[in-house]
A and B are shown apart, each in its own frame.
Chain A
Amino acid sequence: MTEPTRAGCSARAGRAAIASASLVACLTLGACLTPEQAAERNARRPPTPAEVEQHNAMVPPEERIVCRNEIPVTSNIPVRKCRLMADIDETSLFHREQLRRALR
């Protein structure tokens, strides 16, 4: 087993510096979005609470939505989900029915 030389150490440090610099560069470049990408990302984000309320004020009751934080089965991180009120009611009814059947 050979002792690590000063030159070897500095070479390794240099490679690590290059690797970290390239990683930072990748992340920085990745963070820069074109206006189209930014618009697309914006369009994909769930609506804010104020946007939800504005939507609900403009449409009839059957088209109104509710957004809330839900914790998915496979994770502990809450995710904001928006659903039609009618869907929430139907799902809730379905789950109640299933539970009743299981307990019978």
Chain B
Amino acid sequence: MSFDLFLRQRRPEPIKILLLVLAVSFCSSNVFSHDNTTKTLPSIANHFSELSHAQLMESADQLRMDGRYQESEGMFKQLFASVRANSGLFHEQQFVVLDRLIQINLARADWQSLKQHLDYHDWLGNRLYTDSPLQLAGHLQNNASYHELAAQAIVGPARNWHLVQTRHQLWRAVSALQTLPGERDRLPPLLYKIAIHHYALSRQSDLRWLTSFETRTDEPAMISGWALQGNEVNKRSYEIGAELILRIISHYEMNPRSEPTSQAALLAQLTAYRGDWEILFERDRHAFAFYDKSLALTAETSCSDLMVRALFENPAQLPLTTLPPDVDVCSATQNDGSVTVASANFNPGAPAIYRPRRSQDQWLTESPPPALSATDTEIHHD
């Protein structure tokens, strides 16, 4: 039944007239008041102009860099609402502000807000880049790096959750890249990163809720039931890392470099990484088999002495957190004399682990000097 009909049938004539008068007066007052406000008030509610948007962004960034996180966060939240109002709910411009908000959450150790922002970051990326695997992979790696930063700052089960989420996001990035045969070269660094995260997790003394985070829910909550034991976690981490490093090696075997020398040098370095993995999990006998294989591969390069010195004569703290740099080792060592490889210690309480050293054709068994930098290991050459 229409409104008109309703009035005609159910209401007497005077009431009908009164209602009409009221409706007309309400409409006209609205129109006039709107006219007045548009003339007097500046348009700041949800619609910043492009210029003021940039200015606000700049000043909020300045506040963030000055350590005034609370004020900066307030401004970024306003900007975030504005971007959503101006550009729509599904626009990648949101990431510019969202990234800042996440950085502020990390700096303020506001884990609750961080989780909300990271969930939104993940959801929006999946929504926007479903049809573009390369962009999706980049976005997932970005999300993973935020989880990684959070894992470095937290202890206990929350750290495990962030580590598991980092790994999940990296695996999703790997899966996205695997759909693009032309982008296979991007896989080895990601696979190695996953292996390193497994090592980091296996060094955790507190493995509570791990099975829950890995298999039962994506939330940082415990769902009770059957769980992996500590030694099973260790064994699985070892197996996954070993498998991933072998996958990396076979990737480079199937896609060899044009120069036979640099191909042999790369394989020698990667085989040494495989040996390192055995050392990290206290399987020394297996490690030396890989190191010997690595030595044999260095003989195929044009600078075998330099390679042996680079790999085994200077102490390298394990695990090395990045793959060997994509440079011609022989010319690099002859030119500036050094190749820098980052390393990390995931178990600060325990003594650092080093790659075994070799001198005068023999493996040295004594511990390397302890006064080595904990973050970077610079391998010097002649």
Contact = CB atoms under 8 A, between A and B. Distances in A.
Q: Do the two chains belong together in a single complex?
A: yes
A23 to B, nearest CB: 33
Contacts of B215: 56, 61, 64-66, 85
B167 A49 contact: no
A56 B214 contact: yes
Interface string A63-102: 0111010000000000000000100110010000000000
A54 B226 contact: no
Interface residues of B, number: 21
Nearest to A89: B225
B328 interface: no
Contacts of B244: 50
Interface string A39-72: 0000000001110011011101100111010000
B240 A50 contact: yes
Most-contacted residue by chain A among B226, B243, B247 (CB, 10 A): B226
Given A49-B239, A49-B240, A50-B243, A85 B216 contact: yes
B172 A58 contact: yes
B214 A49 contact: no
Specify the main secondary structure of chain A where it touches its partner.
Answer: helix
Contacts of B217: 61
Given A50-B240, A66-B215, A57 B172 contact: yes
B283 interface: no
Nearest to A62: B216
Contacts of A54: 171, 174-175
B236 interface: yes
B168 interface: yes
Contact of B167 (A53, A60, A92): A53
B243 A58 contact: no
B218 A61 contact: yes
A103 B244 CA distance: 47
A53 B241 CA distance: 12
16 contacts: A48-B243, A50-B240, A50-B243, A50-B244, A53-B171, A54-B171, A54-B174, A54-B175, A56-B168, A56-B215, A57-B169, A60-B218, A61-B218, A66-B215, A89-B226, A92-B226
B27 to A, nearest CB: 51
A90 to B, nearest CB: 10
Contacts of A61: 215-218
Contacts of B239: 48-50
A45 to B, nearest CB: 13
A57 B171 contact: yes
B214 to A, nearest CB: 7
Nearest to A48: B243
